[in-house]
Amino acid sequence: MIIDVDGAVDALKHGNLVAIPTETVYGLAGDASNPVAIAKIFSEKGRPSHHPLIVHIAQVENHAWGQTLSTWSRDVPPEAVTLAKHFWPGPLTMILVKSKNVLPQVTGGQDTVGIRCPDHAMTQDILQKTGMGLVAPSANKFGHVSPTMATHVESEFPHLLVVDGGPCAVGIESTIVDLSRVDTIGPVILRLGAISQQDISDVLQRECSSHSVAAPRVPGAMAAHYAPKTPLLLMDKQVSINQDARLANKKIAWVHFGQASGLAHMPVAAGSVEELLPAQAQGVAQLLYSLLRRLDQQNYDLICFECMPEDGDLMWQAIQDRLNRAAIGSGLIS
């Protein structure tokens, strides 16, 4: 059911869940200090209880981030304040050593907590009016594609309360940077997003590494996480389409970037279609999850993505990352 900001504030104060809009994807929100609300999030999503949640916080006046962050973290490094000043509100989550008032249910028993200040007016209004930190994973069933529109949430959770804040402006999940060990190993990117590794290195004026896949600390880092049911294939420049046996006689949804090329010369079956995404990475990110959801309902044998444009935009890496996971999650490892 769609509700307004005041309805959301009321529901959250009573320990209920509300799906909220953010600039990245919709989140399934509950009071971060209420263990019953947190338990509801895990059961709604079907999410394993050791997977930590991100705490969403309100924007602060005059960039006084140090003080606000110290209510959530017992060790706020100067790098965290610098990044908050620069990127918040915005699509960046920081992992910090948690303070003792953060419930273990929020952090999956870990000694660290993920914090983010989302850039969406309605959700900022909700955060200000409740005065709460809101834990909010993406509002999808565990392992499924994240929602970028209120209707996506409603179709997966028909009984949930949803605040409709329109389509998400960014469209893919926030960048996650781990600052909990910044003094020893420096900043580490755990998940790519609209804010790139380079952006973070530039602002901190120090090198920022990315985590090794061998040691995932986040489900977002699990290979098969964003999974459509239809097999999904990412085309490889090296393979000639006409000789690709994986395509032969299949009913395919063929996704282009910027420009469609026609299916006439392709070895596809009747009923195949072309889909056009923009040529720019930002536009692609906005539409990607909607497209995956729509195509996944249409009984194609295969969803094929052609190679992405190479225009130097680092956001393509985040898109590539999501598509790789979707390909693996769909059962086709290419």
Q: Closest CB to ligand TXA among 33 and 110?
A: 110
Find out whether 308 and 320 touch, Cβ atoms under 8 Å.
Answer: yes
Q: Closest CB to Mg ion among 272 and 286?
A: 286
Find out whether 211 and 217 touch, Cβ atoms under 8 Å.
Answer: yes
Q: How far is the CB of 268 from ligand TXA (least distance, A)?
A: 34
Tokens for 189, please give them.
């990117």
Residue 220 touches ligand TXA, criterion: CB under 6 A: yes
- Give the three-state DSSP class for 228: coil
Write each residue from 161 to 180 as x if it is in contact with ligand TXA (CB under 6 A), else as -, in one continuous string: ------------xx-x----
* DSSP secondary structure string for all residues of 2-14: B--HHHHHHHHHT
- Cis preceding linkage at 77, omega within 30: no
Residue 54 touches ligand TXA, criterion: CB under 6 A: yes
Residue 110 touches ligand TXA, criterion: CB under 6 A: yes
Residue 253 touches ligand TXA, criterion: CB under 6 A: no
Residues of span 258-287 touching ligand TXA by CB under 6 A: none
Q: How far is the CB of 167 from ligand TXA (least distance, A)?
A: 14
Q: How far is the CB of 304 from Mg ion (least distance, A)?
A: 25
Contacts of 279 (CB under 8 A, 6+ apart): 257, 258, 259, 309, 311
Residue 304 is inside which H or E element, if any? strand 302-305
Q: Closest CB to ligand TXA among 124 and 272?
A: 124
Residue 228 touches ligand TXA, criterion: CB under 6 A: no
Cα–Cα nearest to 148, from 49, 19, 268, 235: 19
Q: Which does 105 bind (CB under 5 to 8 A by kind): ligand TXA, Mg ion, none?
A: none
**d(Cα 130, Cα 136) in Å, to the nearest integer?**
15
Find out whether 202 and 55 touch, Cβ atoms under 8 Å.
Answer: no
Among 77, 133, 137, 171, binds ligand TXA (CB under 6 A): 137
Contacts of 212 (CB under 8 A, 6+ apart): none
Q: Closest CB to Mg ion among 98 and 225?
A: 225
Q: Closest CB to ligand TXA among 42 and 305?
A: 42
Please give the residue ranges that form the binding site for Mg ion (CB under 5 A): 138
Binding site for ligand TXA (CB under 6 A): 22, 24-25, 27, 51-54, 93, 95, 107, 110, 112-114, 116, 118, 136-138, 173-174, 176, 190, 217-220
